[in-house]
Amino acid sequence: MQTKKQKEGIVKDLAEKLQKIKAAVFADYTGLSVAKMTEFRRKLKAENSEMKVAKKTLIDLALKQADLPVAETKKMSGQVALIMGYDDEISPAKASFAFTRGNEHFKILGGILEKRFIEAAQVLSLAKIPGRQELLGKLVGSIAAPMSGMVEVLQGNLRGLVRVLSQIKK
């Protein structure tokens, strides 16, 4: 049993972290083994994200203190974990979605994006958006495509000239 002081510390710590987030995901982890949770936490840490587990009332109080929408976690089923992303808006959703594939005990319940509560379906659609690096790669490809096309056309003319000259030589 936690004392009131411990609970206040948990709420204060959570509220401080929630003020720094770009996005967050709520997930039900009921039935998930400690080993799987530890593995997931390591993956999150590599992406500058983290997962916190607390009682639903404490999460609601922390959300209120951080001036974020109270997600009514009491209405959410099971044990609720809060996955917080500090670098970008997509990483917690992507990591959570990837983790659900191999773990039927881990279910996405909703999330917070741009200081608004979003439903689980919106979190899943957010997770399917390509990452920043992939989008930058596509942009560079789109910019380079016309230039490479022009180089091909110019090389085609030179190849044609070389063929004609080699035929004349024979």
Residue 41 has pLDDT above 70, yes or no: yes
Q: What is the pLDDT of residues 116-164, one digit of tens each?
A: 888 889 988 888 888 778 888 888 888 888 888 788 888 888 888 888 8
The two tokens of residue 27 are 């997930």
Read off the CATH number of the domain in which 31 is found.
3.30.70.1730
Do 64 and 99 lie in one domain? The reply is: yes
- In SS3 terms, the chain reads as CCCHHHHHHHHHHHHHHHHHCCEEEEEECCCCCHHHHHHHHHHHHHCCEEEEECCHHHHHHHHHHCCCCCCCHHHCCCCEEEEEECCCCCHHHHHHHHHHHHCCCCEEEEEEECCEEEEHHHHHHHHCCCCHHHHHHHHHHHHHHHHHHHHHHHHHHHHHHHHHHHHHHC
Range of the domain at 57: 4-127
* Domain C-terminal end among 127, 145, 160: 127
Together in a domain, 16 and 46: yes
**Whether 83 and 147 share a structural domain:** no
Please give the pLDDT value at position 115: 84
Same domain, 19 and 103: yes
Q: How many domains does the chain divide into?
A: 2
- Do 120 and 160 belong together in one domain? no
Residues 110 and 159 in one domain: no
Task: Note whether 137 and 121 are same-domain residues.
Answer: no
- Do 33 and 69 belong to one domain? yes
This prediction has a pTM of 0.74
